[in-house]
Amino acid sequence: MKVRNDLRNIAIIAHVDHGKTTLVDELLKQSGTFGDHEKVSERAMDNNDIEKERGITILAKNTAVKFEDKRINILDTPGHADFGGEVERILKMVDGVLLVVDAFEGCMPQTRFVLKKALEQKLTPVVVVNKIDRPMARPEEVVDEVLDLFIELDADEDQLEFPVVYTSAVNGTSSMTPEDQQPSMDSVFHAITEHVPAPVDNTSEPFQFQVTMLDYNDYLGRIGVGRVFRGTMKVGDQAKLLKQDGSEKSFRITKMFGFFGLKKEEIQSAEAGDLVALAGIEDIMVGDTICPPEHPERLDVVRIDEPTLQMTFLVNNSPFAGREGDYVTSRKIEARLLTQVETDVSLRVDPTSSPDAWTVSGRGELHLSILIENMRREGYEIQVSKPEVIIKEVDGVDCEPFESVQVDVPEEYTGSVMESLGERKGEMLNMINKGDGQVRLEFLVPSRGLIGYSTEFMSQTKGYGIINHSFDSYRPVAKGYVGGRRQGVLVSMETGKSTGYGMLQVEDRGILFLEPGTDIYEGMIVGEHNRDNDLTVNITKMKAQTNIRSATKEQTVTMKRPRVLTLEEALEFLNEDEYCEITPESIRLRKKVLDKSFREREEKRKKLAAKN
């Protein structure tokens, strides 16, 4: 079979924080892709503000480097389970994968997830044991763990013969043995060029291109990124767009881009195996096939994992609506959500009976919270409800998503973690004592049991525990109590500004969520009650003025530091009868029903309905 020996297409896959993006940085620097005058920023591939702040990759990205006489197309993929839809599509574009594994942590839940996807696609793996410079690195054991994982995931004989490269991406070193680190990435480049198969050269056949990722540009509009699977495409060619819903559309190829380094460069033609971007096609979508009008042949549908979690997004109708945001109307919010669906295939937006509310479904809390964070930074004001898992009927039985959970904790905290996950209907599958005072626990837990669990877990383990989880499967709905918030909340009875005096009066009732001088309104949640019921409080109260000088006037009173919630913590904290109000400047929690008497009436009605 004829192949294009001058080209290799690979994806870099790994668990979150095992060093994929740093490794890509080094491959870019050492390949000579950049001139001497060009400076490569740290984690150059993560170009989104939130990616840079959090140190995670959210969107898959591609680049290309030259090594010797070969061009290597590299795709950097996200490590978080919530962005698994991105990983799955990327694997359709490549012939091999670099599986990056931390030399200390070894195989983690997401390592299993991404490797399973790669092996299903019959891709050729190259294992990179990274962070070899860590003080407690255990490379030989990690390679054994990787081999066990390959066997467990039914890898074929060829896949089991994977080469292993040992690297310290942060130091720019690599070698084929753990000890003998060389100050270059040549070992990685050689492993790629020698073991990853070259694309098949079928350039003489009719062209076939499939869209795997979407990009957007203010000047060019929507851009479809994908691989030429067959033939040669040229600018000016007549082509047919075969959509996944069965419809077709004829057009002419007007703009084509290739990737080199961190730049897109305009090109005139592309051959089988090339990764390119096409612009100028308005309604192009992921999974669409492009081919000549006389050979309309559709490629296999791109399968994407279904969403497992949903929230209701609403127009902000709080007393402070419209104060801080630029975009507050239902028309603007709906348009923004529909724009997101065009580039994020794991997201679903469905209308509800109200024109001011939409059901937004995604792959997890992080997936949805990143969307919310992006929207607030762009000037949108919205309200969202408590995240809920999506129940699916399988063979006539109601099933809910379960997650495979891996916990690494110091030995003394294992009891409390096992007890808390047991309460959340978690089933313990494995317990490994690592011998250094650390214990690894593996559980299968309903996804709804993990909503809001990370805060509890961090306080249980005093911040020393590490928890990772990824979607496992749909199983019959777990009966009984499955996690959730046990405590009630402190709800404001007045509209005004919080005062230090008012807050001092109620701080022994629970934990407050805001600083003195914050604008608040009736029905807004101002703290967590230390009992299981809600309590209405007045923290706008001012100290009464008298003309009598107090004997204790000069004494200073110290107030406890309030717990100001981040967006993720606020979403985790929510209950069914509450909303989170999100604006560019504020994150507020509130009751759905703001008026106290209406809330009490509603509560009585629910209790009566439950009795009957």
Conformation bin of residue 322: beta by default, left when phi > 0, alpha when psi is -120 to 50? left
pLDDT at site 53: 47
pLDDT at site 79: 52
What integer is the mean pLDDT of 483-494? 84
Q: Which residues contact 583 (CB under 8 A, 6 or more apart)?
A: 316, 320, 323, 324, 325, 376, 381
What integer is the mean pLDDT of 21-47? 59
For 368-435, the DSSP string reads HHHHHHHHHHTTB-EEE---EEPPEEETTEEEEEEEEEEEEEEGGGHHHHHHHHHHTT-EEEEEEE-S
For 487-534, the DSSP string reads S-EEEESS-EE--HHHHHHHGGGEEE-S-TT-EE-TTEEEEEESSSS-
pLDDT at site 61: 56
Q: Which two tokens stand for residue 360?
A: 């937004």
pLDDT at 50 exceeding the cut of 60? no
pLDDT at 532 exceeding the cut of 90? no
Q: Which two tokens stand for residue 440?
A: 């690894």
pLDDT per residue over 169-227, tens digit each? 888 888 888 888 888 888 888 888 898 888 888 888 888 888 887 776 667 777 888 88
Annotated binding site for GTP: 17-22, 130-133
pLDDT per residue over 462-488, tens digit each? 888 888 777 788 899 888 777 677 788
- Residues pairing with 489 in the sheet: 528
Task: Report how far apart, in Å, the C-alpha atoms of 415 and of each of 90, 406, 429 are.
Answer: 41, 15, 15
pLDDT per residue over 387-406, tens digit each? 888 898 888 888 998 888 88
Which band of pLDDT confidence, cut at 50, 70 and 90, is reported for residue 60?
very low
Find, among 68, 69, 127, the residue nearest to 96 by Cα.
127
Chain-wide mean pLDDT for the chain? 82
Which band of pLDDT confidence, cut at 50, 70 and 90, is reported for residue 490?
very high
Which band of pLDDT confidence, cut at 50, 70 and 90, is reported for residue 527?
very high
Q: Which residues contact 166 (CB under 8 A, 6 or more apart)?
A: 103, 128, 129, 132, 139, 174, 175, 176, 177, 178, 181, 187
Sorted by where each starts, the structural domains of the chain and their CATH numbers stand as 7-195 (3.40.50.300), 208-291 (2.40.30.10), 392-476 (3.30.70.240), 489-544+559-578+590-611 (2.40.50.250)
Dihedral pair phi/psi, residue 572, rounded to 5°: -65, -30
Task: Report how far apart, in Å, the C-alpha atoms of 346 and of each of 85, 118, 217, 380, 509 are.
Answer: 6, 18, 21, 22, 42
pLDDT at site 591: 93
pLDDT at site 36: 43
pLDDT at site 375: 92
Please say whether the beta carbons of 486 and 426 come within 8 A: no
pLDDT at site 329: 93
Which amino acid does the sequence have at 543? K
pLDDT at site 349: 92
Task: Report how far apart, in Å, the C-alpha atoms of 551 and of each of 548, 554, 555, 557 are.
Answer: 9, 8, 9, 14
Find, among 107, 162, 101, the residue nearest to 132 by Cα.
101
pLDDT at site 519: 92
pLDDT at 555 exceeding the cut of 80? no
Which band of pLDDT confidence, cut at 50, 70 and 90, is reported for residue 545?
low
Annotated binding site: 17-22, 130-133
For 138-155, the DSSP string reads -HHHHHHHHHHHHHHTT-
